[in-house]
Amino acid sequence: MLKKLFVTAVLLLAVLSFVVSLLKGNNSKDISLNVPECVAVVDIVGPIVSGTADGGVLNRVTGTGSREVMEQIREAAEDLSVRALLLNIDSPGGSPTAAEEIAEELARFKSVSKKPVVATMGDMGASAAYWIAACASDKIYANSTTLTGSIGVYVPYMDVKKLLDSIGVNSGMIVSGKHKGMMSIDREMTEEEKAITQNIVNEIHEEFLNVVAEGRHMDGQQLRSLADGRVYTGKQAKNVGLIDEIGNYYDALAMAAQLGGISGKPVVKTKAKPTPWETLLGAEIIGSLKTQIMQHFNAETGAVTVR
């Protein structure tokens, strides 16, 4: 009997904790007060992927998704209290499509809001991360030891045909066209397929170069000589014009505030970190439960929720 009572009490405490965390999350995220003269900080951390990088604990993807970054950029553009945008980057790169999506949103941000953009880099700001930093930033900051640059594109592939042959495994596929099986790991790529893939890589690389040349106001030939895929330290990157200043997050924040016309210490506005329940179940499920709980609460009390 005591064991049943104990288990019941623990379950009740867990449910109460869950509900309270939902309501607290609703208060912190949905109720918004206009704060004058603030800098919106968007974190771009880990590998950059197209779409969303948060799938809940059963499908957890580490890194940054382009969708969440674009949403934050749009929110900053529409928020009258935001005077400047700071991209806080610590990423080795990732999807060129994700970088392109974010770059287009940053271009829209500057065109529509007329607000300045500053980028700052931690340990890394390379490849697709540098694409994002260079596309629209008025100033780019990095530490002297930051690894940045890596302006280039690659498509990995693997051929394990000899290994399969050595263990007596035969494989094959039925295709609709001669190139449908391109880059299959059980056969060597043909020279024609290598040429097709190389053309794709070259095309994306040219787009990368164009974005950096325009964003950094650099001569195309000068940039091409730097864009052989190598990484640069922050100090080296400053010497060749890939970044503007050596400095840390707070130096970049101060510059964002200055460019945004903010006097004094700026207020920082950033996306709230996920609660433990959001990490466990996923933000979309928690968001739906929040809405249902608050609707029920408002119906019972007559309260009005400000969003």
- Annotated catalytic sites, by residue? 127, 180
By the 10 Å C-beta count (0-12 exposed, 13-18 middle, 19+ buried), 191 is classed as exposed
By C-alpha distance, which of 208, 200, 10 is closest to 98?
Answer: 208
Is residue 215 within 8 Å of 106, Cβ to Cβ? no
Token couple for 137: 């930033």
Rounded alpha-carbon distances, angstroms, from residue 149 to 47, 68, 75: 15, 24, 29
Residue 256 CA to its chain's centroid (Å):
20
Rounded alpha-carbon distances, angstroms, from residue 235 to 244, 246, 254: 10, 7, 20
Is residue 94 within 8 Å of 47, Cβ to Cβ? yes
DSSP state of 266: P
